[in-house]
Amino acid sequence: MLVPTATLKIYNASAGSGKTFFLVKNYLSILFKSSHDDEFKRVLALTFTNKASEEMKKRILQCIQEFSIQKVSKEYSHFFFYLIKDLKLTKDQLYKRAKKILSAILHNFSYFSINTIDKFTYRIIRSFTLNKNLDLEMDTNRFLWEIVDNLLSKLKNSEKWTHILVQFSLEKLRSGKNWDIRNELFKIAHLIVDENSFFPMKKIKKRSLDDWIKLKKKLLKRTQIFENICQKQGEKFFNFLKKTSIQKYSFPYEDLPKFFKKFCTGDLILNPFKDRLEKYLFIKKKIYKDTLILDQKNRIKKYTKSILFLYKETKYLYQKNISSYILDKLFLKNLNLLSIIKEIEKELFSLKKEKKIILNAEINKILHERIIKDPFPIIYEKMGSQYKHYFIDEFQDTSFLQWKNIQILIENALSENGSAMIVGDPKQSIYRFRGVDAKPFIHLISSDDSKFYHKKIINIETNFRSYEVIVQFNNSLYQHVHEFFHSTIYKDIYKKYKQKVFKKPGGYVELNFVDKKKTNNYKEYIYSQIENRIKKLLKQKYQLSDIAILVRNNVEGIFLSEKLIKNGFMVNTSVSLLIKNHVEIKIIVHFFYMILKPNCLKNRADLILLLLQNKFIYTKKKNHDFIIDTLFLPLDLFFKKIFLKKSLNLKNLYYNQSIYKIAENIIHGLGLLNKYNTASIYSFLDFIHRSIKIIGNSIVDFLEYWEYKKEKESIIITDEIDAIRLMTIHKSKGLQFPVVLLPFTDWNASFKKKEGAWINISPHLYHGLDTMYLDIEPYFKHIKDNYILNFYKKYLSKIKFDNINLLYVATTRPIEKLIIFSKKVNDQSISIYIKNFLQKKKLWNDKTLQYVFGNNDK
């Protein structure tokens, strides 16, 4: 057995602990410790976003540059003195080393490897792919919808598949759902490319259509047999009542007849064994009503043993077979769709080949499949000899396959006396919906050493970001939260959480619970409170850019950002100030459509109405009359009617003009630009400028391109502008702000709609299949089957972990002030953890709607 000699450093870095600082410090240490000026060529640092990659590059380069010119700023002085002490160098020696290292980096900048993990993976794939001209397709959803449409078109021309599709549509109709199967086909297509489905799909894709047809027949037969057995048990009971003249109303609450009625009707999935029924049968041992006439009482007493025997027999038959029956029924729901997997994959392969692309969603799978074929691919041999030192940032955001793909390189480096450093925080794992899995990191910080290396786990316990009151509040809240987890894995992460304060007394936390019954419009009320807090903060001499508003989803973000902008606040948002949502942009686009078809009355009417409704045209006439008077005018007179700038040369408005110039003319002529919409208009002009380079100067092509891109084009606001930051909690990760407002801290913490998961099944019952995809349903908690119930509880644990992590990320962003708003009564809300925390601290009072920690003075 190999004796591990190298050490894998694992930094368990909670929020605000300065993980980038430790990454940079260790990176610099490797460069300055080496006798080679180009040691950076043998270092690979992987991050998860372009922004993080650029920030790390910038800090390392700036630090070395300052060392080389002997002007070390306060920001980098710690690195300077650390290196002098650690490497036993004089200041002059460090200056000289820095000059040489900087020169080597600048002369070989392409070897300065600080990349995102996706770019790194794509680079490896390109190296062993025969076709080097393959593009990376980032918009997986759009591509999959194209697959679905193509597939439906082809399958409808096949008699065999038409029959299957019609059957599935009818089944959907019978269950009260929409007959259109496009969404279900998209779901299956998504599973094919989804990392989380990689291993189950490998087996499922081998199945032929005949295999699925045989399995369906087997499952239908098996479920029918069980339903017939249950129906007979139900009929036995009611025949028994008829034979003995016992009336249904004779039983307490009629629970026993209701129980057997379910068996007659096939209502079997949800638990039929109610606690009240079991109590009367086996604890009270009295299965009749006290108010019965003596004759009925005596009849039931006489036949009690027979009734109990029938009940126990039914219970035995149910519990013996219910597990496989439920799985069979659930499997049958997706069986028709699963049978189409091979056809979807054929279309997927064909379209990727035609378009010469690789899907970004598949790159980790492609690399992993290559590794499976060849445990140490040639490209890895090359990288293994090139890189000796590895850094991985935000490790909790890796997927299972990403870690498996990188692990082989790290283990190789450590076995050859290289080094590796991993930084992460499982409490900030909030991207499970993208296939991210925090378990590899949790496993690393909790398991024993590998046979390839020792592990050194460094818990960074000091919070360098937040003031004392915020750190203490978060410590108390999240140590309490661990009690809500049943899973030891998740429980320990929060149970051990406690941060130290770094010389920052003060801070302020405000918790607001809104009594929804006393507010007519909850969203409007929250907005009024947010606006009120912003005005108070401005009076306390905070800048707009000091304030961040964090929301759970884009809908909340759009609502708040539009209200804030309408009321005169500058807002810098990555949420969804999509350009398309702004009325000025709608006007310009409508104008383009009108230029394209100048005689189309609908285009004209739409444009006039938009201008009238938003007061860009002033008229004493009623809107309807103005439209009628203007609609049929010749084009030059039409323009004169609607443009504010009468001096505008209408002939030059769009004749022989570029799209960009036309847009500028429209903005000028209609007076669209004002101090509140500068960002949206200039962002749209920037989009036009970029699009011309891609698709040329045709309005037809531009409008088609706009319809394709408009759902993703957001306003561009530079960080230099003094504006409120408004973003989703997901986008805020890694950032910090003096003040954080959480306006809607009441998202559902216990269940997520429209999600599924893979469950292990017995291969001999399902023709060799050992996993099955289930759509998660809330009613699973009522199923009387331990296997399904445990599966559901594990799923709920993951959801709970996701949502508490999301709250953790949000509450650890502020430096000075944290202000939270939530509904007072909502046991499914994430705020239940805050409320429960207050109760545990004996602070909660049903009449109190605001709780304050610290001082609100700046």
Could you read off the pLDDT of 751-766 as tens digits, one per residue? 666 788 899 999 998 9
Residue 406 CB partners (closer than 8 Å, separation 6+): 46, 117, 390, 392, 398
Give percent of the chain above pLDDT 90. Answer: 40
DSSP 8-class letter at 55: H
For the residues 309-326, what does the mean pLDDT come to?
91
Instruction: Give the pairing of strands 756-760 and 571-573.
Output: unpaired
CA distance 686 to 72: 38
CB atoms under 10 Å from CB of 764, counted, come to 8
Give residues with Cβ within 8 angstroms of 416, minimum separation 6.
384, 388
Do 749 and 832 touch, CB atoms closer than 8 A?
Answer: yes
CA 282 to chain centre: 48
The contacts found for 795-801 with CB under 8 angstroms, 24 or more apart, are 795/757, 796/750, 796/751, 797/485, 797/486, 797/487, 797/490, 798/432, 799/749, 799/750, 799/751, 799/752, 800/484, 800/485, 800/490, 800/749, 800/750, 801/429, 801/438, 801/485, 801/487, 801/490
Whether residue 487 is predicted with pLDDT greater than 70 in this model: the reply is yes
Query: What is each CA distance from 93 to 26, 59, 85, 99, in whole angstroms?
Result: 19, 21, 12, 10
**pLDDT reading at 238 higher than 90:** yes
Region 841-858: what's the mean pLDDT?
90
The whole-number pLDDT of residue 151 equals 85
Please check the confidence at residue 29 and state whether its pLDDT lies above 90.
Answer: yes
Q: How far is it, in rounded angstroms, from Cα 460 to Cα 395?
A: 15
CB under 8 A, 24+ apart: contacts of 444-450: 444/8, 444/10, 444/395, 445/10, 445/12, 446/489, 446/492, 449/4, 450/4, 450/8, 450/411
Q: How far is the C-alpha of 652 from the C-alpha of 596, rounded, in Å?
A: 16
Helix/strand/coil (H, E, C) string of 592-642? HHHHHCCCCHHHHHHHHHHHHHCCCCCCCCCHHHHHHHHHCCCHHHHHHHH
b (16+ CB within 10 A) / e for 648-665: bebeebbeeeebeebbbb
3-class DSSP state for residue 365? helix
Q: What does the alpha-carbon distance between residue 563 and residue 524 come to, in Å, rounded to a whole number?
A: 9
Angle formed by the axes of helices 182-193 and 140-155, to 10°? 120
User: What is the pairing mode between strands 814-823 and 508-514?
Assistant: parallel
DSSP H or E stretch at residue 56: helix 50-68
Residue type for 356, please? Answer: K
Torsion sign, CA atoms 261, 265, 266, 267: negative
According to the model, what pLDDT value does residue 578 have?
A: 74
Residue 115 exposure: Cα atoms within 13 Å on the Cβ side:
16
Whole-angstrom distance, CA of residue 808 vs CA of residue 493: 12
Q: Tell the CATH topology of 508-575+721-750+804-854.
A: Rossmann fold (3.40.50)
Protein fold of 7-124+375-460: Rossmann fold (3.40.50)
Per-residue pLDDT at 4 exceeds 80: no
Which residues pair with residue 47 across a beta bridge? 116
Q: From CA 64, how far away is CA 28, in angstroms rounded?
A: 8
pLDDT surpasses 70 at 277: yes
Q: What average pLDDT does range 739-751 have in this prediction?
A: 90
List, in order, residues 6 or more apart from 13 with CB less than 8 Å away.
19, 22, 423, 424, 425, 460
- Identify the CA nearest to 323 among candidates 757, 772, 753, 767: 772
Residue 656 — φ and ψ, nearest 5°?
A: 55, 35
Bridge partners for 424 per DSSP: 12
**Mean of all residue pLDDT scores within the chain:** 87
The C-alpha atoms of residue 335 and residue 327 are separated, in whole angstroms, by: 12
Q: ∠195-196-201 over CA atoms, to 5°?
A: 85
* Overall average pLDDT of the 290-314 stretch: 86
The tens digit of pLDDT for each residue in 7-22 reads 899 999 999 998 889 9
CA dihedral (635, 640, 642, 646) in degrees, to 10, reads 150
> Is residue 747 very low, low, confident or very high in pLDDT (cuts 50, 70, 90)?
very high
Determine contact, residues 10/390, Cβ cutoff 8 Å: no
Which position has the token pair 């019978």?
174
Say what percent of the chain tops pLDDT 70.
94
Model confidence over 93-130: pLDDT tens digits?
Answer: 999 999 999 999 999 998 999 999 998 988 888 877 76
Instruction: Write the pLDDT tens digit of every residue in 466-475.
Output: 999 999 999 9
User: What is the per-residue pLDDT for 34?
Assistant: 93
What is the b/e burial string over 818-851, where b = at least 16 CB atoms within 10 angstroms of the residue's CB? bbbbbbbebeebbbbbbbbbbeeeeeeeeeeeeb
pLDDT at 1 (0 to 100):
42
